[in-house]
Amino acid sequence: MSALNQIAVLKLDDFFSSDDEVRNKFIQDLGDSLKEFGFFAIGNHGVNQELIEKNYALMRDFFDLPEDVKKKYELADYNGQRGYTSYGKEHAKDSKTGDLKEFWHLGRELPEGHELNKFYKSNIWIDEVPDYKEASLDLMKQLDGLAINLLRALAIYLGEETSIFDGLIIDGNSIVRTIHYPEIPADAEPDAVRAGAHEDINLITILCEATAPGLELLRRDGTWMPVHAQEGYLVVDSGDMLARISNEVIPATTHRVVNPDNSRSKRYSMPYFVHPRPDALLTCLDTCHSDESPKKYPDITADDFLTERLKEIGLI
């Protein structure tokens, strides 16, 4: 039985402490919390709070636009990877019921001629919200920096070289998703599930502080636990790609978004899905398999795995 009864609440500056005891405790707590819950909270993270709030405000302006205006930013051949995805289109894996949400995707911007541009759709910019481009790219840059540091700490926890994840995620297929959960309709159950139980596809997800509670994780004992970080903290969870390459040493934890107070009110959230480069091979880390614990999964490219999962959730 684990001694942990709550997700770890950490401060990133402890990772850079000159005190080895402080630094080692940060690394141990981060890894233990991911192993037990698939989640932890991080403070002093270096992501500007005003920038987060500005991005929320700009995207509220977008979601308040008329439906026909929003729809012009939903391009069929983009498979939901950039721009707008309309209400109810995405569903959890193994479910046919659409989630009660609409969302916007911002992806990687690379210089012209970059070798990975053949994998990436161009970002879509909103004519009606012109300030979004600069604000969103600034936010993504800061989240990138945080992701690298968190994965370096995890690499040490797993007994790998500190930079083992760097080559996977630099210029990777990461996405900022801004989600609008509208007021729950009068004809829906007040405790309707806004996002069905699922695991994230990617390596880790960094969740900017949501505007209302509702996120819950599934404990190992089968019960649901609410997760809502205190002000100034971000929530981080582990995804299927990380579970795969760690041989499930770090499992992907099932989570969902509900309406816990039956308020039917709007909710906004902004996860940053940290993905590898599309051409990266998802292969088990050396420290995560042995004769006693053989590899659970065959190698697969990140792009092929992502395509499989997008089909399962209705975006392809």
CB 12 within 8 A of CB 111: no
Alpha helices in 158-235 (DSSP H): 166-169
Question: With left for phi above 0 and alpha for psi between -120 and 50, is residue 160 left, alpha or beta?
Answer: beta
- Tell me, what DSSP letter sits at residue 181? E
The pLDDT assigned to 193 comes to 60
pLDDT digit string, tens, across residues 137-191: 999 999 999 999 999 999 999 999 999 999 999 999 999 999 998 877 677 655 5
The pLDDT assigned to 306 comes to 93
**CB count in 10 Å sphere of residue 274:** 29
Using the predicted structure, report yes or no on whether residue 84 has a pLDDT greater than 70: yes
Using the predicted structure, report yes or no on whether residue 27 has a pLDDT greater than 50: yes
The pLDDT assigned to 94 comes to 63
Using the predicted structure, report yes or no on whether residue 249 has a pLDDT greater than 60: yes
The pLDDT assigned to 286 comes to 96
In which band, very low, low, confident or very high, does the pLDDT at 1 lie, cut at 50, 70 and 90? very low
Can you tell me the mean pLDDT for 126-134? 98
The pLDDT assigned to 182 comes to 84
Using the predicted structure, report yes or no on whether residue 106 has a pLDDT greater than 60: yes
Using the predicted structure, report yes or no on whether residue 125 has a pLDDT greater than 80: yes
- Tell me, what DSSP letter sits at residue 4? -
pLDDT above 90 coverage of the chain, percent: 75
In which band, very low, low, confident or very high, does the pLDDT at 36 lie, cut at 50, 70 and 90? very high
Nearest residue to 24 via CA among 39, 14, 12 = 14
pLDDT digit string, tens, across residues 192-239: 566 778 899 999 999 998 777 788 999 988 999 999 778 899 999 999
The CATH superfamily assigned to 8-312 is: B-lactam Antibiotic, Isopenicillin N Synthase; Chain (2.60.120.330)
Can you tell me the mean pLDDT for 281-295? 96
Using only C-alpha atoms, the chain has a radius of gyration, in whole angstroms, of 19
Amino acid found at 300: I
Can you tell me the mean pLDDT for 246-251? 97
Tell me the HSE value of 2 on the side-chain side, using a 13 A CA sphere: 15
CA gap 275, 50 in Å, rounded: 25
Mean of the per-residue pLDDT values for the chain?
91
